[in-house]
Amino acid sequence: MKSLKLVMALAAVLIVAGCDMNTAPSGFVEVTVDQVQAQLESNNIPKLILDVRSEGEYASGHVPTAKNISVDTLASRLNEVPKDVDVYVYCESGKRSTRAAEMLTEAGYDKVHNMRASMRGWRAANYPIEK
């Protein structure tokens, strides 16, 4: 009985320790649209907002100050993404941004943040959009 309690306590500790809900398995951090908006409002922190949608999607409206590099061309354009700043990645729904965040992490970037709700969430929150 004593060893069962010990095993259960150890299992509980391991489960809690593994529940860091902000860090994705690939090493980047999942963030909300509210967190990205807060970063945009803090002008003193160097950052890159990276829109990995197509040029057409970007032209139809994007997060203010965002740089557009489609996920399909990201690997060949990594030199345009600085490694010394926080990089906030988004797409339309989250699938391409997750792929891009994984690519950046695999390429040695350690300040990568994936905007979970992506552009759909940005619009739903009524945050500013540039065209």
Q: Tens digits of per-residue pLDDT, 32-49?
A: 999 999 999 987 788 999
DSSP 48-61: EEEE-S-HHHHHT-
Hey, what are 78's tokens? 């990594």
CA distances for 53 relative to 4, 50, 95, 110, angstroms: 52, 9, 10, 22
pLDDT of residue 80: 98
Q: Is 91 a catalytic residue?
A: yes
Q: Tens digits of per-residue pLDDT, 91-130?
A: 999 999 999 999 999 999 999 999 999 999 999 999 999 9
The bridge status of strand 47-51 relative to strand 67-68 is: parallel
Hey, what are 15's tokens? 């489960």
Q: Name the band, by pLDDT with cuts 50, 70 and 90, for residue 28.
A: very high
Q: Which of 91, 115, 117, 119 is catalytic?
A: 91
Q: What is the pTM of this model?
A: 0.80
CATH 2.40.160.40 fits 23-124, yes or no: no
Q: Are 26 and 107 in contact (CB under 8 A)?
A: no
Q: Name the band, by pLDDT with cuts 50, 70 and 90, for residue 14.
A: very low
Q: Tens digits of per-residue pLDDT, 88-101?
A: 999 999 999 999 99
Extents of the domains making up the chain:
23-124
Q: Are 24 and 30 in contact (CB under 8 A)?
A: yes
